[in-house]
Structure 1
Amino acid sequence: MAATITSVTLPNTRWAAPKPEVQRLHALATVNFPLRMSARRLALHVRATPPQQQNISDAVQESIKHAQEACAGDPASGECVAAWDEVEELSAAASDARQKQKEIDADPLEAFCKDNPSTEECRTYED
């Protein structure tokens, strides 16, 4: 039996071929457009995390205290208005977090029946 080698695969081709000019052009593009390149890199590292209920309620309490302190001298000042706007936004965020938690804790069958009351699984029979 005779064996023939039909192809050879080299795992490391660094020594076989010179570096292509594309890498140098890529480096120049990075220098010319640093913000665009860094924005792409930053986008990979950003992850949104859901707010936690306890942290939001603590933040609401702290912002209420801050708003009361800001409004102690002049209730019509811009700082007072901004502080109460912050309280309002944090209260809305806390309310949204509570509502989302209720939806998560709810029974999936109840949610399904709420959307599809005529299905067989959702029918109620009286004796």
Structure 2
Amino acid sequence: MSDIEKQIEQERDNAREVCGIDGKDPKCAAAWDAVEELQAERAHQLQTKPKNSLEQFCDDNPDALECRVYDT
């Protein structure tokens, strides 16, 4: 399990503990907001696309002809 997954699980457990059965504690909403923020961060991290083979090659060989960028 990744670090962010562990944090989400910890915050989720904390929110359940803080909210109790009736959920009337004022801290309840803040606890669930923390869970939501971590879930949004995880979703954002999953959206980053992996580099293709040309991008990896250009990272390793920035002076190669294939990697030149021309301004117009």
* TM above 0.5: yes
The whole-number CA distance in structure 2 between the counterparts of 1:108 and 1:76 is 53
Give unmatched runs, 5+ long, in structure 2. Answer: 55-72
1:107 aligns with 2:52: yes
2:12 is aligned to: 64
TM-score (norm 1): 0.38
**Aligned counterpart in structure 2 of residue 81 of structure 1, from 29, 54, 60:** 29
Give aligned-pair identity as a percent.
31
Moved over 3 A (4+): none
Q: How many angstroms does 1:108 deviate by?
A: 6.3
Post-superposition Cα deviations, 1:96-124, rounded to whole Å, max 9, x if no partner, equal 11112xx1x25367xxxxxxxxxxxxxxx
User: What is the RMSD computed on CA atoms of the aligned residues?
Assistant: 2.0
- Which of the two has higher C-alpha Rg? 1
Aligned residues: 54
**Structure 1 stretches of 5 or more lacking a match?**
1-52, 110-127
Per the normalisation by structure 2, the TM-score is 0.63
